[in-house]
Amino acid sequence: MNTIRIAAPKQARKGEVIELKAMIAHDMESGFRRDQFGRKVPRDILKHFECVYNGETVFAAEFFPAVAANPLLVFYITATDSGTLEFRWVDQQGKAVSDSVELLVQ
Amino acid sequence: MNSLQANLAAMCLVAVCCLAGADDIRSFADKADLAPATLKSGLEFLTPETRAMQLDDFENPGFLWVEAGKALFEEEEASPSCQSCHAASGDRALRGVAARYPAVDSQAGELLNLEQRINRCRETHQAQPSLAYESAPLLSLTAYVASLSRGMPYQPSIDGPARSYFERGRAYFFARRGQLNLACTQCHDDNWGRMLRGDRISQGHGNAYPAYRLEWQTLGSLHRRFRDCDRGVRAQPNAAGAGIYVALELYLAWRAGNLALESPGIRR
């Protein structure tokens, strides 16, 4: 299972810009390497990331083979309402893994 | 013998003398160990960016393994779980334990490092099969246990039953090997701080391991690093977990003096 680490504030003032950090354990195997017997190591990468805030996508990113293993994303959003922040990664097979945190806006 | 022959003979003699000179030293074992006053963690040889990555507990990817290891440690499916014996406080709490390894196991009568100690515990107390060296679960458990001693200095025992292992490990460090005919000491005692191609040579301490190496793009054990070093001087590397590597680990733990454990560290 891919370990996911999220850093997000538990609460924020309405309108405040908050920093979110998300890291996921993934090999991001580029598909360009060969193993010790000279066989090609098949590509196995994450393709897509999105952060969904109360049902609305507020940040998205595309990944490519040159992205390093265990990608870390740091981005900013404006806190508008209390609710859920969902962090979701989709790999090249279309399999999704996600984690979510609650945000309290006052 | 004419003068040409005499000259040739003299040149041959000089050549033989040269070969029998510096290159004839197979071991530097009578050299002094690295002086405690000069000790520097590998952290000090990193670029500021890599150093910042290690020092930020979120951006340090080694913590992915620490978290996975913590989950395994608390997993109830293992019977009993690691945590049921080694609660966070109490006699068997593991804070500071990693700083005392490698250590001689009194029952087995042999030197074990942290990885091997964890496997021994699985076999004898949990009735679980031992985990393969360098496998993700063993790296994770080791990283978690090592992280509990973060910031503490090494305190290995090198006396009594550990003495012979210590001497073996020290001898390995000072012996030439490989096609390049180099001993560990020639880089890590004599030339640390100088450039080796694009990198600055470190003092070769193991205090960040298991460490996340940017080159590996993953967390790896100290023995994996030893294997890379042995390959670097074109010597036949030993298997991860080999007795000689555990002995070398003991010498390095002692040699690191009062440097603090940094696992999970970041190395280039």
Q: How confident is the model at residue B51 (pLDDT cuts 50, 70, 90)?
A: very high
State yes or no: is B184 an active-site residue: no
Q: From the CA of B214, how many Å to the nearest CA of chain A?
A: 9
Interfacial B residues in 201-220 facing A (CB < 8 Å)? 217-218
Yes or no, beta carbons of A27 and B217 under 8 Å apart: yes
User: Is the pLDDT confidence value at A66 over 50?
Assistant: yes
* % of chain B exceeding 70 in pLDDT: 90
Tokens for B10, please give them: 């003299």
The residue type at B88: A
Interface check A14 vs B, CB under 8 A? no
Contact B46, B268 (CB under 8 A): yes
Yes or no, beta carbons of B58 and A7 under 8 Å apart: yes
What's the pLDDT at B21? Answer: 46
Tokens for A104, please give them: 């309290």
Contact B45, B264 (CB under 8 A): no
Give the pLDDT mean for B166-173. 96
Q: If you measure CA to CA, which chain A residue comes closest to B63?
A: A5
Tokens for B12, please give them: 């041959």
Give the pLDDT mean for B92-102. 91
Yes or no, beta carbons of A7 and B64 under 8 Å apart: no
- Strands A17-24 vs A4-7: parallel, antiparallel or unpaired: antiparallel
Helices (H), B94-211: 114-125, 136-147, 163-174, 184-188
pTM above 0.95, yes or no: no
Mean pLDDT of chain B: 89
Give the pLDDT mean for B125-134. 92
What number is the ipTM of this complex? Answer: 0.89
Lowest mean pLDDT among B14-23, B157-166, B189-198, B206-215: B14-23
Q: From the CA of A70, how many Å to the nearest CA of chain B?
A: 7
Interface check B268 vs A, CB under 8 A? no
Interfacial B residues in 122-151 facing A (CB < 8 Å)? none
- Strand order through the sheet with B211-213: B218-220, B211-213, B265-267
C-alpha dihedral, B37 to B42 to B47 to B48, nearest 10°:
-70
* Chain B interface disruption, residue of A1, A23, A87, most B CBs within 10 A: A23
Q: What is the pLDDT of residues B219-229, one digit of tens each?
A: 999 999 999 99
Yes or no, beta carbons of B217 and A72 under 8 Å apart: no
What's the pLDDT at B5? Answer: 55
For chain A, report the end-to-end CA distance as a whole number of angstroms. Answer: 35
Q: How confident is the model at residue B19 (pLDDT cuts 50, 70, 90)?
A: very low
Q: For tokens 């390995």, what's the residue?
A: B172
> How far, in Å, CA of B207 to CA of B221, rounded?
11
Q: Which residues of A touch B56 (CB under 8 A)?
A: none
Interface check A66 vs B, CB under 8 A? no
10 Å CB burial of residue B83 (0-12, 13-18, 19+) is middle
Q: Which residues of B touch A21 (CB under 8 A)?
A: 58-59
Contact B147, B261 (CB under 8 A): no
Coil, helix or strand for A38? coil
What's the pLDDT at B13? Answer: 46
> Could you say which of B58, B63, B64 has the minimum Cβ distance to residue A21?
B58
Give the pLDDT mean for B241-251. 97
Interface check B60 vs A, CB under 8 A? no
